[in-house]
Chain A
Amino acid sequence: MASGKGGTGKTTVAANLALAASVRLPVQFLDCDVEEPNAHLLLKPVIAERESVEIPVPRVDEARCTHCGSCADVCPQHAIAVFPNRVLVLAQLCHGCGACRLLCPQGAISEVGRPVGEVGVGNAEGVARPRAGGAERGNAGGLPDRIPPGGEEGGMPAGLAFAQGRLKVGEALAPPVVRAVRKKADRRRLVIVDVAPGTSCPVVEALKGADFCLLVTEPTPFGLHDLELMVEVLEKLGLPAAVVINRAVVGDAGVPAFCRRRRLPILMEIAQDRRIAESYARGIPLVQADPEWTDRFLVLLRRIQEVAPASVSRWERERCRSRATGVGPPR
Chain B
Amino acid sequence: MSITSDRSGAAAVKEVAVISGKGGTGKTTVVAGFASLAACSGPVVLADCDVDAPDLHLLLHPEIGEAHDFRASRNAFIDRDKCTGCGLCETHCRFDAIAGAVVDPLSCEGCGVCYWVCPERAITMGEQLSGRWYVSETRYGPMVHARLEPGEENSGRLVTLVRRRARELAGERDAGVLITDGPPGIGCPVISTVTGADLALVVTEPTLSGMHDLGRVLGVCRHFGVAALVCINRHDLYPEAADAIDRECLAQGIPVIGRIPYDAGVTEAIVRGVPVVEYGDTEVSRAIAGLWDEVLARL
Report A's interface with B, CB cutoff 8 A.
4-8, 11, 35-36, 38, 41, 56, 74, 76, 95-99, 102-103, 167, 169-175, 179, 196-205, 208, 220-222, 225-226, 229-230, 232-233, 236-237, 249, 272, 274, 277-278, 280-283
Can you name 20 A-B residue pairings with CB atoms under 8 Å? A8-B24, A35-B186, A36-B22, A36-B186, A41-B212, A74-B112, A97-B113, A98-B92, A98-B113, A99-B113, A102-B92, A167-B187, A197-B184, A198-B185, A200-B153, A204-B107, A230-B150, A274-B237, A280-B207, A281-B237
Point out the residues of chain A lying under 8 angstroms from B188, CB to CB.
172-174
Given A76-B110, A96-B94, A97-B113, A201:B237 Cβ within 8 A: no
Report yes or no: B150 in contact with A95, Cβ–Cβ below 8 A: no
The answer to the question of B6 belonging to the interface, with a C-beta cut-off of 8 Å to chain A, is no
The answer to the question of B58 belonging to the interface, with a C-beta cut-off of 8 Å to chain A, is yes
Given A229-B53, A277-B237, A281-B237, A41:B151 Cβ within 8 A: no
Q: How far is the CB of B264 from chain A (nearest CB, A)?
A: 8
Report yes or no: B151 in contact with A204, Cβ–Cβ below 8 A: yes
Report yes or no: B186 in contact with A7, Cβ–Cβ below 8 A: no
- Given pairs A41-B208, A197-B184, 11 additional interface contacts (CB within 8 A): A41-B209, A97-B109, A99-B113, A208-B96, A208-B106, A222-B58, A222-B270, A229-B53, A236-B106, A274-B237, A280-B209
The answer to the question of B148 belonging to the interface, with a C-beta cut-off of 8 Å to chain A, is yes
Given A278-B237, A278-B238, A99:B185 Cβ within 8 A: no
Size category of the binding interface on chain B = 35 or more
Point out the residues of chain B lying under 8 angstroms from A167, CB to CB.
186-187
Report yes or no: A201 in contact with B151, Cβ–Cβ below 8 A: yes
Q: Which of B181-239 contact A (CB under 8 A)?
A: 183-191, 205-210, 212-213, 216-217, 219-220, 223-224, 234, 237-238
Point out the residues of chain B lying under 8 angstroms from A173, CB to CB.
187-188
The answer to the question of B267 belonging to the interface, with a C-beta cut-off of 8 Å to chain A, is yes
The answer to the question of B117 belonging to the interface, with a C-beta cut-off of 8 Å to chain A, is yes
The answer to the question of B40 belonging to the interface, with a C-beta cut-off of 8 Å to chain A, is no
Q: How many pairs of A and B residues are in contact by the CB < 8 Å rule?
A: 195
Given A199-B151, A200-B148, A282-B238, A6:B22 Cβ within 8 A: yes
Most buried by A among B23, B107, B152: B23
Given A76-B111, A174-B187, A200:B262 Cβ within 8 A: no
Q: How far is the CA of A103 from the CA of B208 in the complex (A)?
A: 48
Partner of A36, one of B51, B111, B216, B234: B216
Report B's interface with A, CB cutoff 8 A.
20-25, 28, 50-53, 55, 58, 74, 92, 94-96, 106-107, 109-113, 116-117, 148, 150-153, 155-156, 183-191, 205-210, 212-213, 216-217, 219-220, 223-224, 234, 237-238, 241, 262, 264, 267, 270-271, 273
Point out the residues of chain B lying under 8 angstroms from A282, CB to CB.
207-208, 238, 241
Given A6-B23, A169-B220, A95:B151 Cβ within 8 A: no
Q: How far is the CB of A319 from chain B (nearest CB, A)?
A: 24
Q: How far is the CB of A266 from chain B (nearest CB, A)?
A: 19
Q: How far is the CA of A225 from the CA of B147 in the complex (A)?
A: 12
Q: How far is the CB of B28 from chain A (nearest CB, A)?
A: 7
Q: How far is the CB of B69 from chain A (nearest CB, A)?
A: 17
Given A7-B24, A208-B107, A169:B112 Cβ within 8 A: no
Partner of B94, one of A98, A222, A229: A98
Report yes or no: A225 in contact with B185, Cβ–Cβ below 8 A: no
Report yes or no: B112 in contact with A99, Cβ–Cβ below 8 A: yes
Report yes or no: B208 in contact with A283, Cβ–Cβ below 8 A: yes
Q: How far is the CB of B192 from chain A (nearest CB, A)?
A: 8
Given A5-B24, A198-B183, A76:B271 Cβ within 8 A: no
Point out the residues of chain A lying under 8 angstroms from B270, CB to CB.
220-222
Q: How far is the CA of A11 from the CA of B113 in the complex (A)?
A: 37
Report yes or no: A199 in contact with B150, Cβ–Cβ below 8 A: yes
Given A102-B116, A225-B58, A35:B187 Cβ within 8 A: yes
Q: How far is the CA of A160 from the CA of B189 in the complex (A)?
A: 33
